[in-house]
Structure 1
């Protein structure tokens, strides 16, 4: 009797072997992965060139500044997204002194270039960059 070995058979056997040998458990409802500490998050943010999370006052001041530029910049119910995009803009501010480039990046990052073409101007971009810099990363 001849035994025929197929690629599919080899892959199935390999998959079973690897699954059986795995030392890591898959996360389940009962087996939640450990949470990342605040200190580790802060270190990761710093390594990525991002400032720390803003406190409530800085967050409110930033959102108010965006609303003063134009209330449509922040999508309804997406304040966290706007803050996240602002923090990402901080990494660009940290890495570049080119104000025109920073303005273009801000317009794209806040999707103004695609959502709000009437606001897609260098002036609007500069205002956003100024708001980000002032409220989220003044040390950059």
Structure 2
């Protein structure tokens, strides 16, 4: 009987803890949802400028994404290696590096070399291609930086 009561009490405590955790996650997710509903509205340029100032550009639209993927594929098809969304995410992260180190091209290139990898290139694509990747990211995803 004591074992059943202890098990029930433990389950109750865990349920309370999990519901408290899920409330935190919902409140964390609530802010991005509000930001996403603001982005498609008319003042999207203001949001974009604010995001650019913060170093986090918005996800690209279809045409921009296509141009970016073409630019990467033109450098080396293995950069994308069939994972376009991952290439876009890496590019957006690279935009933060470009924003944070605007005059430090060697740092931008080094970060791109570490960030852009593939199964065939686990150590990156080398300095020359990494510099080309930085340029493709800058031109296509975050030209305001």
Residue 79 (1) aligns with residue 105 (2): no
Instruction: State the distance in 1 between where 2:66 and 2:15 align.
Output: 48
Q: Which residue of 2 aligns with 1:16?
A: 12
Instruction: State the distance in 1 between where 2:89 and 2:140 align.
Output: 13
The Cα shift of 1:23 comes to 6.6
Residue 90 (1) aligns with residue 87 (2): no
Structure 1 residues 51, 22: closer, same or farther in 2, change over 3 A? closer
Conserved? CA contact 1:62–1:132, under 8 Å:
yes
The Cα shift of 1:49 comes to 2.5
Q: Which residue of 1 aligns with 2:117?
A: 111
After superposition, what is the alpha-carbon deviation per residue over 1:84-122, rounded to whole angstroms, capped at 9, x for unaligned? Answer: 11011000000002111111111111115x742797321
Normalization by structure 2: what TM-score? 0.66
Q: Structure 1: any 5+ residue segments left out of the alignment?
A: 28-32
Query: Alignment partner of 1:58: what SS?
Result: helix
Answer with 1 or 2: which has the greater Rg. Answer: 1
Normalization by structure 1: what TM-score? 0.68
Q: CA RMSD in A?
A: 3.9
Q: Which residue of 1 aligns with 2:26?
A: none
